[in-house]
């Protein structure tokens, strides 16, 4: 083997200008035939491989590309299709594949949740009542495509059966091992056929190995890799981990494979310490993830060079592979597209392609034993000292709300006079083609600010009227002036920069463009007051003010790595507090401060959780704690694993929380069976990520399921997320069904309350 080869474990799917997204959505809308669509996807896929080859990457992944999600790909590969989709065996068709992800008129979509602690969402495998069978060796097809059409002998990427089942649902805890073992023979076939086709290395992604394993899990993992090792033929197997350190380092590195991929960026130095304390297995290959695959700041190559040189004490140069810490799925494609970005900032950033260049620079430095012509990245200074002084004072003043929740609840019920099971939405309404067109015209100075403001008012009035006609109890203004829930606020605060094309995939074809927080965050002027006050003037029903919370703005931004997380969060929180007070001063007494990303920022290891929760809760409280007790603070959260942080959520000071739960079919409700949650709550009663209109019986069932463990006086009825991505007709139809269901349940239970 040559010395110091380079590798990556995955590359962005969406394309430099979101070509992937547009192609998929055209197929969904019927504008593109299936054959043409598949050809477009193939051209994109091969283009990505050629880019990596041109950048000099030695070990190029194949199989990381997806038409929606790599976990869904794995489920489809083994014929693991939920019963409700009426699958009759054989290869999963393209339309069925998308129905599993998005739902159909007859069947609800599969659950979607966060990929570990990232903003990427995967489709949760449903493993009950499914008998696995290898219906399509997808990695083999992609390996042969790369070999035959691009001249690239790639490194096939397969998610391990252990992690795949860990991420799945539908089996009892005692069935975990048997579920893994049911898949194992089919995995052996995949590996064997890849080996026979000429694969040198096969990458087995197993991020679940970062957790502390039980003895039973260790037995399962050992059995899995013994079986795969026997099936590998002349190929070599790589266990790839990422996002944190390996707790059971000696166990993992004793597994019968040929190489181990370790994250040296997000491991808090623990992986390096494990190697220093225990050594690294002889004849094994270390795939060292030293370039941050989840952030966009240029690496300090000199620091990474020193780290890699230290690893040569434990492994030889022909057994040390240089790579990013994880798949580059989580970063944009290239800074070359950013033609308007200031040079001082652009010089400090590295997107996916620039990270490939950093790998080459490290490879050259290690081979030449010298780092020539390297200039360390210059990060813009942070010189607004008064911001920090103001934040420190606010931190001292910040605490709990002025009265406990029980007293606030009495005041708020008297003030708002809402019915039992009040209905509302999460905040946004459909961003139609016309809305987006008007915004673009305004941004390009093709539409005056006055005319644009008039258009926004027209849309707001239209949807206030629709909400009143639907008989929703608490209304929203619709957020038609906003592109993205983080971008909108970042554009109005100091310290943020917004790119032209720095998109990343969130779920399916949904892409987000995280802002870059490069300086101190500071409030400039009111951001939401005008639109919210206008909406409230149109109705006697309460209209919620809508803000994005400090933790979510932080977690959904590319944040500098040289500043403490709590410092940045609190700067954002202080700016938002000023907006909250401005809303309250103008008579907006329901204010929703959304925190959909608070869960995804939670460290993966339990021992590190509380520190994060402490400063996340503090930041949220800093933004809302100064409001009057009869002002009702709402928040919205997106995840299903609620039990871990329920105490911290309760401590945040919100009066009403809404939580995405519809895709998990009410499983979140089990958290309340053992925990008495004393505040008000809405557990999303239908899934907005699917284009289908729910049936009234489904929503009624979801409401009753929640009321088995929650007091009806606590419960709010709402969709599980914002409605920005939905079409107008389906939005109105779905909300009508939701309101009818709420009224029906209201009548059923009011005699007992």
Look at residues 648, 632, 551, 534 and name the one whose alpha carbon lies nearest to residue 594: 551
- The answer on pLDDT for 402 being more than 90 is no
Please report which confidence band the pLDDT of residue 328 belongs to, taking 50, 70 and 90 as the band edges: very high
* DSSP E strand boundaries for 555-655: 558-559, 590-594, 632-637
Look at residues 40, 60, 41 and name the one whose alpha carbon lies nearest to residue 51: 60
Considering the chain, what percentage of its residues have pLDDT values greater than 90?
Answer: 76
Give Cα separations from 647 to 1, 509, 607, 644, 675 (angstroms): 53, 34, 16, 8, 9
- The answer on pLDDT for 325 being more than 80 is yes
Please report which confidence band the pLDDT of residue 302 belongs to, taking 50, 70 and 90 as the band edges: very high
Look at residues 116, 6, 2, 21 and name the one whose alpha carbon lies nearest to residue 68: 21
The answer on whether 510 is annotated among ligand-binding residues is yes
Contact assessment for residue 355 and residue 369, using Cβ atoms and an 8 Å cutoff: no
The answer on whether 130 is annotated among ligand-binding residues is no
CA 697/CA 741 separation, integer angstroms: 8
- The answer on pLDDT for 580 being more than 60 is yes
The answer on whether 70 is annotated among ligand-binding residues is no
**pLDDT on residue 395:** 66
State how beta strands 656-659 and 632-637 pair: parallel
The answer on whether 43 is annotated among ligand-binding residues is no
Contact assessment for residue 683 and residue 718, using Cβ atoms and an 8 Å cutoff: no
- The answer on pLDDT for 253 being more than 90 is yes
51 vs 439, which has greater pLDDT? 51
What does the CA dihedral 544, 550, 721, 732 come to, rounded to 10 degrees?
40
- In the chain, what are the helix, strand and coil shares in percent, each to the nearest 5? 45, 15, 40
Please report which confidence band the pLDDT of residue 141 belongs to, taking 50, 70 and 90 as the band edges: very high
- The answer on pLDDT for 375 being more than 80 is no
The residues with which 496 forms a beta bridge, in sequence order, are: 517
- The answer on pLDDT for 385 being more than 60 is no
- The answer on pLDDT for 639 being more than 80 is no
**pLDDT on residue 113:** 86
CA 327/CA 292 separation, integer angstroms: 10
The answer on whether 408 is annotated among ligand-binding residues is no
- The answer on pLDDT for 665 being more than 60 is no
- The answer on pLDDT for 258 being more than 70 is yes
Contact assessment for residue 588 and residue 632, using Cβ atoms and an 8 Å cutoff: no
Please report which confidence band the pLDDT of residue 666 belongs to, taking 50, 70 and 90 as the band edges: low
Look at residues 480, 437, 489 and name the one whose alpha carbon lies nearest to residue 456: 480
The answer on whether 401 is annotated among ligand-binding residues is no
Distance of CA 74 to the CA centre of its chain: 19
The burial class, CB within 10 Å (0-12 / 13-18 / 19+), for 145 is middle
Please report which confidence band the pLDDT of residue 708 belongs to, taking 50, 70 and 90 as the band edges: confident
The answer on whether 296 is annotated among ligand-binding residues is no
The answer on whether 636 is annotated among ligand-binding residues is yes
CA 265/CA 275 separation, integer angstroms: 15
Query: Mean pLDDT for the chain?
Result: 92
Look at residues 338, 317, 230, 210 and name the one whose alpha carbon lies nearest to residue 608: 210
The answer on whether 201 is annotated among ligand-binding residues is no
**pLDDT on residue 379:** 65
The answer on whether 18 is annotated among ligand-binding residues is yes
Catalytic residue among 121, 186, 477, 689: 689
**pLDDT on residue 294:** 96
Please report which confidence band the pLDDT of residue 397 belongs to, taking 50, 70 and 90 as the band edges: low
- The answer on pLDDT for 535 being more than 80 is yes
The answer on whether 119 is annotated among ligand-binding residues is yes
- The answer on pLDDT for 551 being more than 90 is yes
The answer on whether 561 is annotated among ligand-binding residues is no
- The answer on pLDDT for 485 being more than 90 is no
Considering the chain, what percentage of its residues have pLDDT values greater than 70?
Answer: 94
- The answer on pLDDT for 414 being more than 60 is yes
Q: What is the tens place of the pLDDT at every residue in 159-204? A: 999 999 999 999 999 999 999 999 999 999 999 999 999 999 999 9
Please report which confidence band the pLDDT of residue 105 belongs to, taking 50, 70 and 90 as the band edges: confident
The answer on whether 503 is annotated among ligand-binding residues is no
Tokens 């410092």 correspond to 567
**pTM for this predicted structure:** 0.87
Please report which confidence band the pLDDT of residue 106 belongs to, taking 50, 70 and 90 as the band edges: confident
**pLDDT on residue 230:** 97
Q: Which domains does the chain have, with CATH numbers?
A: 19-368 (3.20.20.210), 407-482+529-548+576-749 (3.20.20.210)
The answer on whether 215 is annotated among ligand-binding residues is no
- The answer on pLDDT for 641 being more than 80 is no
**pLDDT on residue 344:** 87
Contact assessment for residue 427 and residue 535, using Cβ atoms and an 8 Å cutoff: no
The answer on whether 259 is annotated among ligand-binding residues is no
Q: What is the tens place of the pLDDT at every residue in 648-658? A: 888 898 999 98
Please report which confidence band the pLDDT of residue 331 belongs to, taking 50, 70 and 90 as the band edges: very high
- The answer on pLDDT for 689 being more than 90 is no
Please report which confidence band the pLDDT of residue 705 belongs to, taking 50, 70 and 90 as the band edges: confident
676 included as an active-site residue:
no
The answer on whether 326 is annotated among ligand-binding residues is no
- The answer on pLDDT for 383 being more than 90 is no
Contact assessment for residue 198 and residue 155, using Cβ atoms and an 8 Å cutoff: no
The answer on whether 477 is annotated among ligand-binding residues is no
CA 558/CA 556 separation, integer angstroms: 7
Contact assessment for residue 292 and residue 299, using Cβ atoms and an 8 Å cutoff: yes
Three-state DSSP class for 99?
helix
The answer on whether 20 is annotated among ligand-binding residues is yes
**pLDDT on residue 596:** 86
Please report which confidence band the pLDDT of residue 668 belongs to, taking 50, 70 and 90 as the band edges: low
């Amino acid at each position: 083997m040559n010395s110091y080869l380079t590798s990556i474990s995955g590359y962005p799917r969406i394309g430099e200008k979101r070509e992937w997204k547009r192609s998929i959505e055209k197929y969904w809308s019927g504008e593109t035939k299936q054959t043409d669509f598949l050809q477009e996807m193939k051209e994109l896929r091969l283009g990505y491989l050629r880019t990596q080859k041109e950048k000099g990457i030695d070990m190029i992944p194949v199989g990381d590309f997806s038409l929606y999600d790599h976990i869904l790909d794995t489920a489809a590969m083994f014929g693991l299709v939920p019963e409700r989709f009426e699958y009759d065996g054989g290869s999963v068709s393209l339309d069925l594949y998308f129905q599993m992800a998005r739902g159909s008129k007859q069947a609800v979509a599969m659950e979607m949740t966060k990929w570990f602690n990232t903003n990427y969402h995967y489709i949760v495998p449903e493993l009950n009542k499914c008998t696995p069978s290898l219906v399509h060796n997808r990695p083999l097809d992609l390996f042969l495509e790369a070999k035959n059409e691009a001249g690239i002998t790639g490194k096939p990427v397969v998610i391990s059966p252990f992690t795949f089942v860990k991420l799945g649902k539908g089996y009892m805890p005692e069935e975990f091992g048997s579920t893994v073992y049911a898949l194992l023979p089919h995995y052996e076939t995949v590996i064997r056929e890849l080996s026979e086709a000429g694969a040198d290395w096969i990458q087995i992604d197993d991020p679940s190995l970062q957790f502390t394993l039980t003895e039973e899990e260790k037995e399962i993992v050992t059995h899995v890799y013994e079986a795969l090792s026997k099936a590998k033929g002349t190929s070599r197997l790589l266990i790839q981990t990422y996002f944190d350190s390996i707790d059971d380092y000696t166990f993992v590195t004793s597994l019968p494979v040929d190489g181990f991929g370790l994250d040296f960026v997000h491991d808090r130095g623990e992986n390096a310490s494990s190697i220093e304390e225990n050594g690294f297995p002889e004849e094994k290959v270390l795939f060292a993830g030293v370039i941050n695959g989840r952030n966009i700041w240029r690496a300090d190559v000199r620091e990474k060079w020193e780290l890699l040189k230290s690893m040569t004490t434990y492994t030889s140069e022909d057994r040390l592979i240089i790579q990013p810490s994880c798949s580059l799925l989580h970063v944009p494609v290239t800074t070359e597209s950013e033609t308007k970005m200031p040079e001082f900032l652009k010089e400090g950033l590295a997107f996916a392609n620039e990270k490939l260049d950093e790998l080459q620079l490290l490879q050259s430095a290690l081979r030449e034993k010298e780092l020539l012509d390297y200039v360390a990245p210059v990060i813009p200074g942070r010189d607004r000292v008064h911001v920090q002084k103001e934040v420190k004072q606010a931190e001292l003043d910040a605490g709990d709300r002025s009265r406990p929740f029980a007293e606030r609840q009495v005041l708020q019920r008297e003030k708002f006079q809402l019915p039992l099971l009040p209905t509302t939405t999460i905040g946004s309404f459909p961003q139609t083609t016309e809305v987006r067109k008007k915004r673009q015209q305004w941004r390009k100075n093709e539409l005056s600010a006055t005319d644009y403001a008039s258009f926004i008012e027209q849309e707001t009035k239209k949807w206030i009227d629709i909400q009143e006609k639907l008989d929703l109890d608490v209304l929203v203004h619709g957020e038609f002036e906003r592109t993205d829930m983080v971008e909108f606020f970042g554009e109005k605060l100091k310290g943020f920069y917004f790119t032209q094309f720095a998109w990343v995939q969130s779920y399916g074809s949904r892409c987000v463009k995280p802002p870059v927080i490069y300086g101190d965050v500071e409030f400039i002027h009111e951001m939401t007051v005008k639109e919210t006050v206008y909406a409230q003037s149109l109705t006697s029903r309460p209209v919620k003010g809508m803000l994005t919370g400090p933790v979510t703005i932080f977690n959904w931004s590319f944040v500098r790595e040289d500043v403490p997380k709590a410092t940045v969060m609190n700067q954002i929180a202080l700016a938002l507090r000023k907006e909250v007070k401005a809303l309250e001063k103008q008579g907006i007494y329901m204010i929703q401060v959304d925190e959909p990303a608070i869960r995804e920022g939670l460290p993966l290891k339990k021992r590190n959780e509380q520190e994060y929760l402490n400063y996340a809760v503090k930041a949220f409280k800093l933004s809302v704690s100064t409001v009057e007790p009869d002002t009702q603070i709402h928040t919205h959260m997106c995840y299903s694993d609620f039990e871990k942080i329920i105490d911290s959520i309760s401590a945040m000071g919100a009066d009403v929380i809404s939580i995405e739960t519809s895709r998990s079919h009410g499983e979140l409700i089990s958290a309340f069976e053992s925990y008495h949650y004393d505040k008000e709550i809405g557990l999303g009663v239908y899934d907005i990520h699917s284009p289908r209109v729910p049936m009234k019986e489904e929503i009624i069932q979801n409401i009753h399921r929640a009321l088995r463990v929650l007091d009806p006086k606590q419960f709010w009825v709402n969709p599980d997320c914002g409605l920005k991505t939905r079409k107008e007709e389906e939005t109105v139809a779905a909300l009508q069904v939701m309101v009818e269901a709420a009224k029906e349940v209201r009548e059923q239970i009011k005699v007992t309350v």
